[in-house]
Structure 1
Amino acid sequence: MNDNSALTPQEVADILKISKNTVYELIKRGELNSYRVGKKVRVDSKDVESYKNKSKSIKNEDQSGLISERLKSYNPLNDELPKINGFVICGQDILLDILSRYLQLHPNGIQALRSYVGSYNGLYELYQGNVQLATAHLWDGDTGQYNIPYVRRMLPGIPAVIIHLACRLQGFYVAYGNPKNIKGWEDLKRKDITIINREKGSGTRVLLDEHIRKLCIPSYNIKGYNRESTSHLAIASTVARGGADLGLGNEKSGLQVKGIEFIPLQTERYEMVIKKEDMEKAPFKAVLEILRSQELKMELEGIGGYDLTEIGQIVAET
């Protein structure tokens, strides 16, 4: 294989004998380097080889997947919680994978571990002391606010700081050409619409549930409501191949999937939550410095799909 050759996601999938969607997931999680040529994603063959070599041995410090599985698998009602050692950043956006890389290279930084669980579970883990940084995009339908009401309720008695990361556009994924003429939330009342849902605890699932609550739509009246998937890419892929008429997700992820149109519905606030007692500790100060750096902002602008106007700003203390 030529070290300088550029591969498409499908060619990478063929080499690794995995699905193309899994390739996108590896890219999203920062496990496989990629770049864009216009709107097309490309991967250097040398990066594929690097990924294969890295995957041949499991290093003690590379616990991200294990953490994610451990946090997903336990029941919060159980007495025993999974014990995780290290500095853990909780959340699913690729922005956090990039932040972790910067944090490892920062003079006062640390090697961060990643947990890919949703917003609700991330806040719960922060409350339990299992993670150091949680992220959330949880919309409260009664106040119209993002995150602040949930942090106050889910971290009782724990002073916390909410730091803005980015604004992202949430909306419906529909098949190209929008054959069902879907326009907005009211279409969830239609009997001829089948959806694919996100998992419980994700910010996207909470957004959907809040809107159907306000519209007084019983969830059992929505076809496909109980079908769950754990990523935006998987949701968009299901819609693209005709497995559902619509799914809810962010614009950036949906545009990576062929055969999808995006119907914008709501701008969401994606934010980081830190316990106030940790704010003066070196790794946390490094995180804030990185978030406010021009280098990180330029890299995220290159990826696209983010409004970074307020990145690094403290928006609330609870």
Structure 2
Amino acid sequence: MLEDTSLTPQEVANKLKIAKNTVYELIKRGELNGYKVGKKIRIDLKDVEEYKNRTKQIKIKNTEINQNTPSKFIKTSSLLLEDIYSNDGFIICGQDMLLDILSRYLELHPNGVHALRSYTGSYNGLLALYQGNVQVATSHLWDGDSNQYNIPYVRRLVPGIPTVIIHLACRMQGFYVAKGNPKNIKTWEDLKKPNIIIINREKGCGTRILLDEQLRKLNIDRYKIKGYNKEVFSHLAVASSVARGSADVGLGNEKTSLQVQNIDFIPLQNERYELVIKKEDLNKPSFKAIIDIVRSKEFKTELLGIGGYVITETGNIIAEL
């Protein structure tokens, strides 16, 4: 049966006739479900078949520009293939889909650029910003000691470089559980129950750090939690694992729970999702375009239409470090 067949990344690459690194990138972006067994990544054959079926009809079209995109953000009436694939090395780091929206607006803005996306977790994204490998990082990292988001981590991971933190949105994080919550999982303490199996996120993402910080504060030995070492690479993969019965609980945002059948969402913590930019870049046209977009009515309206975001502070400068 398809669901009983587990493949290595190289085997998936051979089936799809793509590079193995592309398989890893698809997993990071949440387009292909993957999970860890020990230190090895595995992909179920049925997920590969589902990915193939989803992508059969994908075509590049000029009409992919959102019809509601305001004219002030459009710098040309059409997109040519060479425009789509050319780039100046401008990279936005982060995994949330609102960054796809931001990238689209940025490409169409008169002072914008074609931005590449790096689907890397918050911790590694800040390191990449410090090392000069990306231009914009995003973060939703919670510090359990100060009960503060992002600022403590930016100070530690981007030391000696003046930075600006710009608020994007608030999102609700919580547990994905089976429909009806048959194991009555409601709090962090419930993860200690011996009959609970979790599905985890990869090290370095904000969701994983939230879990680890909560376990640390409650003095819960994470290695005694069944499933702790099994990792997947997106909210969608976590929710899918719970829906299929591979795990009893996983941590993710509320928006994704609405996309997956047969699960319930248990809200736990409101988190802050924010942009981090080097202060020296603020007056450059592309970065000014980002701030213009994030503060625009059109961008905020699109986030509201998707749902799952609180935008009361969107565009505000939260800190200058």
Among residues 200, 210, 213, which one is paired with 1:210 in the alignment?
A: 213
Match of 2:237 in 1: 234
Partner of 1:251: 254
Measured in 1, the distance between the counterparts of 2:241 and 2:191 equals 17
Structure 2 residue 173 is matched with structure 1 residue 170: yes
Structure 1 residues 93 and 187, CA, compared in 2 at 3 Å: closer, same or farther? same
1:198 matched to 2:201? The reply is yes
1:291 aligned onto 2:300: no
> Who is 1:38 aligned against?
none
Identity %: 68
- AA aligned opposite 1:50: K
CA contact (8 A) 1:123 1:155 kept: yes
Structure 2 counterpart of 1:48, one-letter code: Q
In the alignment, residue 235 of structure 1 is paired with which amino acid?
Answer: V
Tell me, yes or no, if structure 1 residue 100 matches structure 2 residue 109. Answer: no
Deviation at 1:25?
4.6
Q: Does 1:117 align with 2:93?
A: no
C-alpha contact 1:163 1:315 (8 A) present in aligned 2? yes
CA contact (8 A) 1:89 1:131 kept: yes
Calculate the aligned-residue CA RMSD, in Å: 2.6
Give the corresponding residue for 1:156.
159
Any idea what the Cα deviations from partners look like across 1:135-180, whole Å, max 9, x if unmatched? Answer: 0000000000000000000011000000000000000000001000
Determine if contact 1:62/1:113 at 8 Å carries over to the other structure.
no
Distance 2:141 2:209 in 1: 6
Question: What is the CA–CA distance in structure 2 between the aligned matches of 1:233 and 1:305, rounded to whole Å?
Answer: 14
Choose from 120, 128, 132 the match for 1:129. 132
2:273 maps to which of 251, 270, 275:
270
Query: Partners of 1:309 and 1:173 in 2: how far apart?
Result: 26
Q: Which residue of 2 aligns with 1:50?
A: 59
Amino acid at match of 2:178: A
SS of 1:135's partner is: strand
Using the alignment, how far apart are the partners of 2:310 and 2:241 within structure 1?
27
Q: Does 1:225 align with 2:231?
A: no
Kindly indicate whether the alpha-carbon contact (under 8 Å) linking 2:169 and 2:311 is maintained by their aligned counterparts in 1: yes
In structure 2, the partner of 1:306 is: 309
Q: Per the alignment, do residues 130 and 262 of structure 1 end up closer, same or farther by CA in structure 2, a change over 3 Å counting?
A: same
Deviation at 1:48, TM superposition (A): 3.3
SS in 2 for 1:48: coil
Cα distance in structure 2, aligned partners of 1:127 and 1:280: 19
Distance 1:97 1:237, change over 3 A: same
Q: Residues of 2 paired with 1:52 and 1:184: CA distance?
A: 46
In structure 1, what is the Cα distance between the partners aligned to 2:82 and 2:193?
50
- Measured in 2, the distance between the counterparts of 1:51 and 1:243 equals 36
Structure 1 unmatched ranges of 5 or more: 1-15, 28-44, 64-83
CA distance in 2: counterparts of 1:177 and 1:250, whole angstroms: 18
Cα pair distance change 1:60/1:218, threshold 3 Å: farther
Cα distance in 2 for residues equivalent to 1:251 and 1:211: 18
What is the deviation of 1:51? 5.0
User: Is this contact kept in 2: 1:196–1:228, CA < 8 A?
Assistant: yes
- Counterpart AA for 1:147: N
User: Following the alignment from structure 1 to structure 2, what is the Cα–Cα distance between the partners of residues 52 and 117?
Assistant: 27
Three-state SS of the structure 2 residue aligned to 1:50 is coil
CA contact (8 A) 1:87 1:131 kept: yes
What SS is found at the alignment partner of 2:289? helix
How far does residue 49 in structure 1 lie from its aligned partner after superposition? 4.6
Superposition deviation, residue 300 in structure 1: 1.1
How many equivalent residue pairs?
Answer: 256
Unaligned segments of structure 2, at least 5 residues: 1-15, 17-25, 33-53, 63-80
TM-superposed CA distance for 1:190, in Å, is 1.1
Distance in 1, Cα, partners of 2:273 & 2:85? 26
Q: Which amino acid counterpart does residue 117 of structure 1 have in structure 2?
A: T
TM-score normalized with structure 1 length = 0.76
Q: State the match for 1:34 in structure 2.
A: none
TM-score by length of structure 2 reads 0.75
